Amino acid sequence: MQNRTLEVGVGLFLLAGLLAFLLLALRVSGLTVGADNTYKVYASFDNIAGLTVRSKVTMAGVTIGKVSAIDLDRDSYMGRVTMQLDEAVNNLPADSTASILTAGLLGEKYIGISVGGEEEVLGEGGTIHDTQSSLVLEDLIGKFLLNSVNKDQAN
Amino acid sequence: MRKTSVLERVRLFGRAGIDLLGTLGRSVIFLLRALFGRSSTGNGFQLLVKQLYSVGVMSLAIIVVSGVFIGMVLSLQGFSILAQYGSEQAVGQMVALTLLRELGPVVTALLFAGRAGSALTAEIGNMKSTEQLSSLAMIGVDPLKYIVAPRLWAGFISMPLLAMIFSVVGIWGGSMVAIDWLGVYEGSFWANMQNSVSFREDVLNGVIKSIVFAFVVTWIAVFQGYDCEPTSEGISRATTKTVVYASLAVLGLDFILTALMFGDF
């Protein structure tokens, strides 16, 4: 009889361990089981500074996908971003705009897509041509300084 | 005071080196024989269940309680720093990554060394000093298979499970403090966490870490008990050694494993 309670205790312990593993996988890391219903869309940016793989892709503030790869296009010297978008949002017009935005002043970078007006939609492997690059603070400061110098010279 | 000659000192140094190598060699042979030796009589599964109970189930309480508190403290500290930058919703990500990558495996291993490791050493050491081990060998039962192997396996199995339970409970404690007390929005707490925690890189690497720690801590604990001087003083020294060596080994290995897993080079 004493052996029985022992075995029940061990069984519960093993179950708790497995449950913890499942919770970590599904709830904490957000792993989805089975085939994910997404399609690929590409976009090229002049500057992707700060964007990383797994960054969010949003539309009207709602997350509709994530960045799955970032590489440099050898011919055009632009950063090519591969996005996995939700199959549920398969009606994006082909002339939609993708811009790299920042959450808060110092927050993470993400891609925001604004809708275009064309009838044709972006399909699997489609490319967004109208893009707006990441805002680089150093460039802005540089431009600002240059402006003030020019003004001084003009005076 | 007698003056020791230079040669004598060199001899003592060499002796210490030989002793160290001898201990290392014995511990490896001990491990291999315990794990892969021919199995002897007795129901191995029953023995394992019994050890899983005393090593794993009995450690649950300390693991769960310290997990909750560590998660809560992390959340509180993280919040007060992140709030200065206006990004307090990132507290979920911070708590989850800290627990999964570092604190879960490491603190579990340290607690395990103190709670279960010292008990293993003392138990086996006492068996040795009361000559139970040699009596077993006398009646033809290999003590390595009957006493040592079930304890080793119980440690290997239960510590990764304990580490995962620790992380889950810690994240729960952290979410409780962040969401219910500090008023972080629940949706962004979990979404931020899920966006930044990757299953393979964070969860699985954490589990691999805890498997390595389980191996090292249990090995040290059981070997120290088996190899101790069969006196009360010897047992107490072996128990101290278990906790000290196991903690140092865990912290040192943690640095190496972190450098290999997250070092990016």
Contact by Cβ (8 Å): B63, B111: yes
Residue-by-residue pLDDT tens, chain A, 155 positions: 567 888 888 888 888 988 988 888 887 777 666 556 788 889 888 888 778 877 888 888 888 888 888 888 888 888 889 988 888 888 888 888 888 888 766 667 888 888 888 888 888 888 888 888 877 777 788 888 888 877 777 76
Contact by Cβ (8 Å): B46, B145: no
- Cβ of B203 within 8 Å of Cβ of A28? The answer is yes
Q: Which of A10-24, B45-59, B73-87, B208-222 is modeled with the greatest confidence?
A: B208-222
- pLDDT for position A26: 80
Whether the pLDDT of residue B143 is over 80: the answer is: yes
pLDDT tens readout for residues B153-180: 899 999 999 999 999 999 999 999 988 8
Residue from A3, A24, A62 to probe the interface with B (highest B Cβ count within 10 Å):
A24
- pLDDT for position B253: 93
A58: three-class secondary structure by DSSP = strand
B100 to chain A: nearest residue by CA?
Answer: A24
| Distance (Å) from the alpha carbon of B165 to chain A's nearest alpha carbon | 5
pLDDT classification of B242: cutoffs 50, 70, 90 = very high
Q: Please provide the DSSP assignment of A92-143 as one string.
A: -BTT-EEEEEESTTT--EEEEEE----SSB--TTEEE-EEEPPPPHHHHHHH
Q: Report the alpha-carbon angle B221-B151-B111, nearest 5.
A: 50
pTM (two decimals): 0.76
Number of Cβ within 10 Å of residue A26's Cβ equals 14
Name every chain A residue with its beta carbon within 8 A of the beta carbon of B160: 17
Considering only CB atoms, which residues of chain B are within 8 Å of chain A? 46, 49-50, 52-53, 56-57, 60, 85-87, 96, 100, 158, 160-162, 164-165, 167-168, 171, 190-191, 193-199, 202-203, 207
Q: Which of B265, B257, B239 is CA-nearest to residue B104?
A: B257
Query: Residue length, chain B?
Result: 265
- Cβ of B167 within 8 Å of Cβ of A105? The answer is no
- Cβ of B161 within 8 Å of Cβ of A31? The answer is no
Asked if this assembly's ipTM is beyond 0.90, the reply is: no
What lies within 8 Å, CB to CB, of A151 at 6+ separation is none
Of B160, B171, B199, the CB nearest to A25: B199
| A28/B contact by beta carbon, under 8 A | yes
Q: Which of B30-34, B127-131, B223-227 has the lowest mean pLDDT?
A: B30-34
- pLDDT for position B246: 94
